[in-house]
Amino acid sequence: MYLAEIKPYQIYLLLLVTCQTLGNFSLSITLPLFLIIVLQKGLKENFADAQVSVVDCPDLTQEPFNFPAKGICGKPRIADVGGVPYLIPVVQKEKVYDLNAVAKDIELPGAFILGAGAASSKILGVNAELIPIVQTKSEKKPAVNGSYIAQINPADKGCLLEKYSSKYTDCEFGLLANLYASEGQPGKVIEVKANGRTGELNFVSCLRQILEKHYGEKPVGMGGTFIIQKGKAKIHIMPPEFSACPLNTDEDVNNWLKFFEMKAPLICQPVIVSRDPGFDLRLEHTHCFSHHGDGGHYHQDTSPDSVHYLGYLLPAELLFRIDRPQETHLVGRD
């Protein structure tokens, strides 16, 4: 499923509803078997063992996921909301969004949404990582928010991972998010197994670069979930306070972020676009959570010899760009 053409902007209609700029892109269909061959061949260049196949999506309401929807199938689409320029060099705290509104903007009210974003500091009172897992509200059902937030624990400066619904009842987020949305239905998905990393690329970057290499200028979008079953990973969490000084370089950003080595199992939520067709997209963004208190923004496994990845992914049919920053840069997008 690749972006074969760019549909006309739907700005005027959507401005009436959201006061945000939004672009909508069509993705055409690639034969699943062909895509599987491409992915498996590429993964074997970065992992000692890799297997890619089409399977029935496991019931994601069960362990270890415990999601509010059974699957990731049904009208799959990706949304890139806001962006890093709203976080750095200087934060724009007024940038606040709602996942229920996003579901309507992407023409899928009631969507099941996974991904990676920033929590709303207006709600939390501090800056934090958001691991969105939301069955958005529909005409018949209220929203079910299974999200997690990862923040710096003021007691010991470690990771504090909490269920969002344990403290809050909204579906807001702030500044930026990369989201994979679907009807949350069971169905056929792409299962990816990769063990023993032999190359330099992390799991998500490897997948993205495989797609970019094969499809070239035709952007491909993909999302879903994967588990780091064995090993450890490099994860960051943003500090609770936004930087008082402008963050102008990647070095500035890395010195501001708090990095941790976290242990498996980690349940991760990747959003991938192989190539930016000129809409200031974040090409890959992955957040993770666990049932042992670890979570945040995934960078790379730190135990290449022993790492085991198991993923369930699906190419997207549509990609939406919401509230694109007018002033942009490429800093802090790792």
Q: What is the pLDDT of residues 28-69, one digit of tens each?
A: 444 468 889 999 999 999 999 999 999 999 999 999 999 999
Is 70 exceeded by the pLDDT of residue 159? yes
Which pLDDT does position 18 carry in this prediction? 27
Is 80 exceeded by the pLDDT of residue 143? yes
- Per-chain mean pLDDT for the chain: 91
Which pLDDT does position 29 carry in this prediction? 40
Task: Determine if the pTM surpasses 0.75.
Answer: yes
Which pLDDT does position 24 carry in this prediction? 66
Q: How does residue 224 score in pLDDT terms, banded at 50, 70 and 90?
A: very high
Higher pLDDT, residue 13 or 314: 314
Which pLDDT does position 34 carry in this prediction? 83
Q: How does residue 256 score in pLDDT terms, banded at 50, 70 and 90?
A: very high
Is 80 exceeded by the pLDDT of residue 72? yes
Which pLDDT does position 25 carry in this prediction? 62
Portion of the chain with pLDDT greater than 70, in percent: 90
Structure tokens of 48? 């000692």
Which pLDDT does position 334 carry in this prediction? 87
